[in-house]
Structure 1
Amino acid sequence: MARPPQGQPHPGRQLGVLGLIFVVLYLFVFFGSGAKGSFTERLHPKLGLDLVGGTQATYVASVQGGKAPSKDSMEQARDIIQNRVDALGVSEASVVIQGNSNIVVSLAGEAKDQLKDLAQAAQMRFRLVIGATGDVATQALHPSTATPSAPASGAAPSTVPSAGASAPAGATAPQVNSSPSSGGQGGGEVVKAPAPSTPPSAGAPSADASAPAATPTPVTTGAPAPGNAPVTREQVAQKVGATEWAAASKLAAPVDLSTDPKAGLAYKNFATLKGNEVAALSAQMQFAVPTIGCAQLDNRPNGAIDDAKSEVVTCYNGGKILLDKAPVIGNDIDKASPAFDQQSGQWVVSLDFKSEGSTKWAALTKTAFNATSTDPCFTAATAMYGQVDHCAVAVVLDKAIVSAPQIQGVLTGTSQITGQFNATSAKDLADKLKFGAIPVTFDAGPAETVSATLGIQQLQAGLLAAAIGMALVAIYAFFYYRLLGSVIFLSLILSGLLTFGALIVLGRSIGFTLSLAGIAGFIVSLGVAADSFVIYFERLKDEIHEGRTPRSAVPRAWARARRTIISANTITILAAVVLYIVSIGAVQGFAFALGLATILDLLVVFLFRHPIMTMFANTKAFLSPRVSGLGRVLRRAQTDVKEA
């Protein structure tokens, strides 16, 4: 066999590189991360909703004041939900706006648990605790089993209640620490400045490490409360009656039923109010009326306590808590990420504030730290935890208090939210904070399973049509190009195998799912591949027609066709990239598949088509007009040589 021209790589080396790529790719397919089951099962790509069925959930925007949310608000909400879906590790999920107030999310496979929290508002507020009913301090104490971190210099160790439990009178409250200080109580922080620590060791729990049973997360979920239509205070006053309304309006502090159980009879009609009716009351009335309970407060519509400029009421450990205005909000947070605290052996959520947010946070913690025993916040902290040194700041997410720690210093840097997190719940909370607060509150609609029957029928019809088309292309290629037709046929097979392997690996690594739109993209890419064959072979004919031998015509035709092939494929790839960026859902799947298949076709062009043609050019069969497929061009060239 003749050596390739100077500057041209040896065809055997190029074919060897292609073979190495196949070996590595299919090693990932059969033995890579996520490869499970039998060898046959490992060859199954991840299929989309329209092929294997899946779950579809509808979120209905809460109408405030009878007005539908603005178009911009709905678009922003859709983008945030899309980011949250992507954070779940899924791809090609459909997140679309339907009508003026609905967002529909569709995921392949069973995903009801993943979908239920996607549209939570995730509005974080940091509020000073300024009031607490006495029943907060009467809950049973459940000490944490985690080892407290070492106390600060001069500080005494403390026993800390676990999340979901509160301390009786005399118990030590959860605390916020910034730096060692005299007289403070250290250890067992709920929100704190992170202590210096080494990176997590190999022994630290991984993201899917098993967590204690029934570990609560700090996010309130559940079905929307009945009766979420907005009501006015006048309507509520009419329902409870003028006498009870007048008595409730005069309350300056909560009525203590422990001393006079019959005192609640004067407010019995307030116990019949629904969540949306309670939300219409002032914060002071919600807090002071004894017959308004936590069940009613929890059933208020989403967003009921989001107003950062107003005092609000919520529940914590079974008692009602009155919270001040929120000087620090979720938008003041710059970064939120899960982390493993080596000292406590627990997962935490680390918060970094923006420049202005850090100033606000420092001012809030300074207020809580410097408060005296006569301040309302100090009285509230005492009601919550018994003997305390400083006021408490509640970290509120949506309608739930994540934690209400005592402030042990002025915090100016990174802070940590701790609780009974595992790796999953810490990541869930961090993602909700990181991807922003949804500007519209939603009620979760029904989540239903989508049948794949129609998709499977369409897939079968599409694959049948693709097979018929491929067969016709192969027949025409062998008829028109003969030996060269085998190059076309083998190239398409290799491209298909590369694409198939890439689909499996990408499905496991980035969650790419193959849908009907993706299959359409791959089929369209076949036309791009066929065009490159025609360009190359017709260039080859031109070179032979000009009097060159097939051996010399092959490299010259390749040099001339290569630029055209690269240009055409580059345009296709750029079009796919632009389409992927500006589109959503199924159209993105089409664009991704088209771009991927085009890139792999270029790989086959350079590592198979050109080197195999170089090898064919040195065979006797290639010089035969009957076998090569060059036909009339070779005969004419041979005739011209004889005449010369």
Structure 2
Amino acid sequence: MHPGRQLGVLGLVFVVLYLLVFFAGGAKGSFTDRLEPKLGLDLVGGTQATYIASQQGAPPTQEAMETARQIIESRVNALGVSEAEVVIQGNNTIVVSLAGEADDQLKDLSQAANMRFRLLTGTTIDVSAAALNPAAPSPAVSASAGAAPAASGSAAPSAAASGEAPAVTSQPSAPTGGQGGGAPAPSTEPSAAPSATPEASAPAPAAAPAADPSQKNATKEELLASAKKKVGDKVWAQAEKLTAPVDLSTDAEAGLPYKAFAQLTGAEVNALTPAMQFNVPTISCSQLDARPNGAIDDVNAEVVACYQGGAKVKLDKAKVVGDDIKEASPQLDQTQNQWVVSLDFTSEGQTKWTELTRTAFNATSTDPCFVAVQSLYGTADHCAVAVVLDKSILSAPQIQGVLSGQSQITGDFTAASAKELADQLNFGAIPVTFEAGPAQTVSATLGLQQLEAGLLAAAIGMGLVAIYAFFYYRLLGSVIFLSLGLSALLTFGALVFLGRTLGYTLTLAGIAGFIVSLGVAADSFVIYFERLKDEIHEGRTPRSAVPRAWHRARRTIISANTITILCAVVLYIVSIGAVQGFAFALGLSTVLDLVVVFLFRHPIMTMLASTKAFLSPRVSGLGRVLRNRTDVKEA
């Protein structure tokens, strides 16, 4: 064999690993900062967020809460191996704990992620500010292609967008003879986008009234009674008779009778009929956005929502929902160099989606959906389908053809936001609506004390092992010491890189896994060295005994480590939380120990076998075996 080559490969592994540690995976800061592993909640503290189920009427069932917990936990795990704790407290609260400053990661975990595809049937701009102040100029709408701001919402792209409106498009598919060899499905990008921006002199819309805590668990009947009391019977009856949005262009003061509607809370507005929400001019987008979670989730009802904060839109019943999506995946569109979310529908969902796009595509210019698109975009070719996630409209593109294949949600996505939306769709919608409860910082004082005690115990144990190894094996003890050191360096570099790229979090349980793996590594030394003594005792020279001992011990070492790895894999799959972190650490360190066994321990022993020190009983550690062999020769 050529031990120099194996040692060279090991050196290359170290170089590549630490180049990744220092320069890849978003490494930043000083070299010291880049060597810091991602520590867990028990070591550095973290954030604990509380989500309280919104009880509109009956409280959630235990089954619904457990389903919600599992979905939230899946979303957390999709962020990386973070060992987050997701537990149910009481009958309506879920508590999520993450290490470090995790506000950005926690804020969207409880979003329901209810995807709805609805035909757009009506639109009007938000004139609430003008209705309350007739003396000020009213907002105006100017249609300009591609000028829509980025979609808002928890799973939508950030508002700092390039200005391109998100759209649903159909990916081209190869023509087949069964379909007559048709052309690829056309895209559904909107031909024009809204710019519902008020004139510079127009007043800004008023903020929604603050939520009333007493309305949190109020029924719809109680909320309607409260709203009617604020508005008054006469104005209420007048609002119920509206069949279209109040036109302020001919009478600037036509909205003043409805001034009291501006005082309704989001919960009270949610209790109104969709027609009243849409037609009353003083109900603003800020009030619609303040409605409780799940306000427009009903698939069998028409709903009203705001698009880009400047237009109130009326939407038809949901013909396609998130459950009709078989798989969602983030992809980088090479043609436009932007991230998209690709949608594969179930067989039934594809039928629904095709029928919905056929309805939109075949609509005539007199249909309400066609008129709505004309009003929204300034020009219209076909009707539009709104892509709605929870309370937010991600996009409302015109349908340019009947879509019968895979589709995409496009927009100003980043890799992270595209993955987040895809994960939410894949894991399913949460069956319970939540409101964010109090968040608090968790101290790591107790964990740090335990860490210090654990590291001290580990150092004492390793020191005793080193003393015993040098006393019993002498020169071979240095091989043990160097092997363990190299394994430790490989493991440390791996956990730093994995923490930065995959979110692996080092906790006390993980440290325990690493320490246990040292015992597995020590066992492999005993197997190899004792096998070497047996070979020399049988009359072979140390130089010939080394490869023979390796050949006979190798199978046992591989078998023992394989069993440990399999146990770690099984434990990781069937467990959660800290136990899962222990299993991951044990499996990782065992794999890296095998790397050191093959690329360092065996070649270094081959090199030592040709030295004079290795042949000395006092230096090598083979001791009595070499002396007995010498005595046999002399006899």
- Fold conserved (TM > 0.5)? yes
1:335 aligns with 2:325: no
Amino acid corresponding to residue 328 of structure 2 in structure 1: K
Runs of 4 or more, structure 1, over 6 Å off, are: 173-181, 184-187, 259-269
- Cross-structure match for 1:573: 565
- Cross-structure match for 1:309: 300
Once residues 591 and 508 of structure 1 are traced to their aligned partners in structure 2, the CA distance between those partners, rounded to angstroms, is: 19
1:399, distance to aligned residue in structure 2 (A)? 0.9
1:129 aligns with 2:120: yes
1:424, distance to aligned residue in structure 2 (A)? 5.7
Where does the alignment leave 5 or more consecutive residues of structure 1 unmatched? 1-8, 145-158, 166-172, 192-222
Q: Secondary structure at the match of 2:402?
A: coil
1:630 aligns with 2:622: yes
Counterparts of 1:29-68 in structure 2, within 5 Å, are 29-32=21-24, 34-68=26-60
- Cross-structure match for 2:203: none
> Alpha carbons of 1:455 and 1:361: their partners in 2 closer, same or farther (altered >3 Å)?
same
> Alpha carbons of 1:228 and 1:314: their partners in 2 closer, same or farther (altered >3 Å)?
farther
CA offset digits 1:106-150 (Å, max 9, x no partner): 343333223212221221211122334465797434666xxxxxx
1:231 aligns with 2:218: yes
- Cross-structure match for 2:291: 300
Counterparts of 1:469-508 in structure 2, within 5 Å, are 469-508=461-500
- Cross-structure match for 1:96: 86
Once residues 166 and 497 of structure 2 are traced to their aligned partners in structure 1, the CA distance between those partners, rounded to angstroms, is: 47
1:110 aligns with 2:101: yes
1:592 aligns with 2:579: no
Once residues 333 and 168 of structure 2 are traced to their aligned partners in structure 1, the CA distance between those partners, rounded to angstroms, is: 18
> Alpha carbons of 1:502 and 1:346: their partners in 2 closer, same or farther (altered >3 Å)?
closer
Once residues 174 and 480 of structure 1 are traced to their aligned partners in structure 2, the CA distance between those partners, rounded to angstroms, is: 70
CA contact 2:40–2:507 (8 Å) conserved in 1: yes
Q: Secondary structure at the match of 2:597?
A: helix
- Cross-structure match for 2:149: 163
1:301, distance to aligned residue in structure 2 (A)? 1.5
> Alpha carbons of 1:64 and 1:101: their partners in 2 closer, same or farther (altered >3 Å)?
same
Amino acid corresponding to residue 302 of structure 1 in structure 2: N
Worse-matched range after superposition: 128-137 or 526-535: 128-137
CA offset digits 1:306-362 (Å, max 9, x no partner): 11122222233445433211111123234353545856x876555444433232222
CA contact 1:225–1:301 (8 Å) conserved in 2: no
CA offset digits 1:17-52 (Å, max 9, x no partner): 333333333343344454444444443333333333
Once residues 562 and 454 of structure 1 are traced to their aligned partners in structure 2, the CA distance between those partners, rounded to angstroms, is: 43
Where does the alignment leave 5 or more consecutive residues of structure 2 unmatched? 129-137, 152-164, 173-181, 194-209
CA contact 1:353–1:414 (8 Å) conserved in 2: yes
- Cross-structure match for 1:403: 395
Amino acid corresponding to residue 488 of structure 1 in structure 2: I
Once residues 525 and 185 of structure 1 are traced to their aligned partners in structure 2, the CA distance between those partners, rounded to angstroms, is: 55
Once residues 458 and 122 of structure 1 are traced to their aligned partners in structure 2, the CA distance between those partners, rounded to angstroms, is: 40
Once residues 177 and 519 of structure 1 are traced to their aligned partners in structure 2, the CA distance between those partners, rounded to angstroms, is: 48
Normalised to the residue count of structure 1, the TM-score between the two structures is 0.77
CA contact 2:531–2:552 (8 Å) conserved in 1: yes
Once residues 446 and 390 of structure 2 are traced to their aligned partners in structure 1, the CA distance between those partners, rounded to angstroms, is: 40
Once residues 7 and 546 of structure 2 are traced to their aligned partners in structure 1, the CA distance between those partners, rounded to angstroms, is: 17
- Cross-structure match for 1:559: 551
Counterparts of 1:474-553 in structure 2, within 5 Å, are 474-553=466-545
1:80, distance to aligned residue in structure 2 (A)? 3.9
1:495, distance to aligned residue in structure 2 (A)? 1.5
Worse-matched range after superposition: 267-276 or 489-498: 267-276
Once residues 187 and 268 of structure 1 are traced to their aligned partners in structure 2, the CA distance between those partners, rounded to angstroms, is: 38
CA offset digits 1:466-499 (Å, max 9, x no partner): 1111111111112222222222222211211222
CA contact 1:134–1:319 (8 Å) conserved in 2: yes
Amino acid corresponding to residue 140 of structure 1 in structure 2: A
Identity within the alignment, %: 69
- Cross-structure match for 1:140: 140
1:454 aligns with 2:446: yes
CA contact 2:330–2:339 (8 Å) conserved in 1: no
Once residues 597 and 553 of structure 1 are traced to their aligned partners in structure 2, the CA distance between those partners, rounded to angstroms, is: 29
1:367 aligns with 2:353: no
> Alpha carbons of 1:510 and 1:234: their partners in 2 closer, same or farther (altered >3 Å)?
closer
Q: Secondary structure at the match of 1:117?
A: coil
Q: Secondary structure at the match of 2:438?
A: strand
CA contact 2:483–2:600 (8 Å) conserved in 1: yes
> Alpha carbons of 1:24 and 1:127: their partners in 2 closer, same or farther (altered >3 Å)?
closer
Q: Secondary structure at the match of 1:256?
A: coil
CA offset digits 1:479-523 (Å, max 9, x no partner): 222222222222211211222222233333433332222211111
CA contact 1:48–1:513 (8 Å) conserved in 2: yes
Normalised to the residue count of structure 2, the TM-score between the two structures is 0.78
1:581, distance to aligned residue in structure 2 (A)? 1.6
> Alpha carbons of 1:448 and 1:359: their partners in 2 closer, same or farther (altered >3 Å)?
same
> Alpha carbons of 1:130 and 1:52: their partners in 2 closer, same or farther (altered >3 Å)?
same
CA contact 1:580–1:592 (8 Å) conserved in 2: yes
Q: Secondary structure at the match of 1:488?
A: helix
CA contact 2:239–2:280 (8 Å) conserved in 1: no
Amino acid corresponding to residue 115 of structure 1 in structure 2: L
Cα RMSD over matched residues? 3.9
CA contact 1:311–1:322 (8 Å) conserved in 2: yes
Q: Secondary structure at the match of 2:318?
A: coil
Q: How many residues were matched structurally? A: 578
CA contact 1:142–1:161 (8 Å) conserved in 2: no
